[in-house]
């Protein structure tokens, strides 16, 4: 019998699968299709202090082996999330959930985390300093070690729950930023958010996306994600949540061998809503194929 269990910042997971923020809403939509309690956890829709309508449309551009999105953190704001979304989630998901939080200033991050901190179902905060689709916030905090550390330090001061910082791949030195977050008190690192991409329509000769550029995700980015997880694992002592182009049980094992303790699935959920259950179902067979008895044993095994 193989073991799919893993642990993330001291919280036990039945398996390493975590649908990524922005691809799974607040969970209850997917709960109509399957029992989402089979997941390790999931990261809910990126939440900000105030409600956001998001970016103008069109927001999505398909491309070979991936897609570009520029949703722009559309969400009802933290007060409505607490009032409306979390009670609905509680009715269908009975495990700790990951709260993805974003902001446009350090104070924004602090306010949102403070508001959500008393919610018992939240197990971890995934602090997004890496969204490429908003101006004046998001990724601007994640491209500088100092700025990422500043957000980490401020958020850690207002919660006792584990803080996992989600980093941008759109940088030259991912290791320096990950180490800065660890030094500032981060309990984990989430890698990677989307790459910055663009499509141009040949007929109109204009960018496909209204915001011109957006976050490129999907299987094409997996080698970049694996590389960054591998590099950061060598540099920090805190756990890593790996993600980027994951769409199969083999991808999960590859990400864990690189150094991930848990694995996020993003774009695959948009292509196939049953992507995560299929991966979980396939994992035992793939583990047996490669002689793996316990997933915990392979974390960082490629080093």
pLDDT (tens digit per residue) in 176-229:
999 999 999 999 999 999 999 999 999 999 999 999 999 999 999 999 999 999
- Whether residue 99 is contained in a domain is answered as yes
CATH number at residue 175: 3.20.20.70
Low-confidence ranges of the chain (pLDDT < 70): 131-140
What are the strands, taking DSSP E only, across 129-239?
163-166, 188-191, 195-197, 200-201, 206-207, 214-217
- Whether residue 62 is contained in a domain is answered as no
CB 267 within 8 A of CB 23: yes
Q: What are phi and psi of 140, to 5 degrees?
A: -60, -25
Query: How many distinct helices (H) and strands (E) make up the chain?
Result: 10, 15
- Provide the pLDDT for residue 139: 52
Spatial CA neighbour of 124 closest among 161, 178, 166, 158: 161
- Provide the pLDDT for residue 140: 64
- Whether residue 156 is contained in a domain is answered as yes
- Whether residue 207 is contained in a domain is answered as no
- CB count within 10 Å of CB 64 equals 8
- Whether residue 249 is contained in a domain is answered as yes
Spatial CA neighbour of 98 closest among 282, 275, 277, 264: 264
Cα angle at 181 between 128 and 72, to 5 degrees?
A: 15
* Total tally of structural domains belonging to the chain: 1
Q: Which residues are catalytic?
A: 131
- Provide the pLDDT for residue 72: 87
Domain that holds residue 232: 6-54+72-198+216-298
- Whether residue 61 is contained in a domain is answered as no
- Provide the pLDDT for residue 131: 59
- Provide the pLDDT for residue 143: 82
d(CA 302, CA 254): 9
């Amino acid at each position: 019998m193989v073991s799919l269990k893993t642990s993330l910042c001291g919280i036990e997971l039945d398996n390493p699968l975590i649908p990524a923020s922005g691809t799974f809403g607040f969970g209850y939509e997917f709960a109509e299709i399957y029992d989402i309690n089979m997941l390790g956890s999931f990261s809910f829709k990126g939440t900000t202090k105030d409600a956001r309508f998001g970016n103008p449309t069109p927001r999505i551009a398909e491309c070979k082996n991936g897609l570009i999105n520029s949703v722009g953190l559309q969400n009802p704001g933290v007060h409505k999330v607490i009032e409306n979304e979390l009670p609905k989630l509680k009715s269908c998901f009975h495990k700790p959930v990951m709260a993805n939080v974003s902001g446009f200033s350090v104070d924004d991050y602090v306010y949102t985390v403070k508001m959500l901190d008393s919610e018992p179902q939240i197990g971890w905060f995934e602090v997004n300093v890496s969204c490429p689709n908003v101006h004046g916030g998001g990724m601007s905090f994640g491209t500088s070690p100092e700025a990422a550390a500043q957000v980490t330090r401020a958020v850690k001061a207002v919660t006792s729950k584990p803080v996992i910082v989600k980093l941008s791949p759109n940088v030259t030195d991912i290791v320096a930023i990950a180490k800065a977050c660890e030094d500032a008190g981060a309990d984990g690192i989430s890698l990677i958010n989307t790459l910055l991409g663009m499509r141009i329509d040949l007929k109109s000769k204009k960018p496909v996306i209204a915001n011109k550029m957006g976050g490129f995700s999907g299987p094409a980015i997996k080698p970049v994600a694996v590389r960054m997880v591998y590099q950061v694992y060598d540099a920090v002592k805190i756990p890593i949540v790996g993600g980027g182009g994951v769409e199969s049980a083999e991808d999960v094992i590859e990400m864990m061998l690189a150094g991930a303790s848990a694995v996020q699935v993003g774009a695959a959920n948009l292509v196939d809503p049953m992507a995560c259950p299929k991966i979980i179902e396939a994992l035992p067979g793939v583990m047996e194929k490669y002689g793996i008895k316990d997933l915990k044993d392979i974390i960082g095994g490629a080093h």
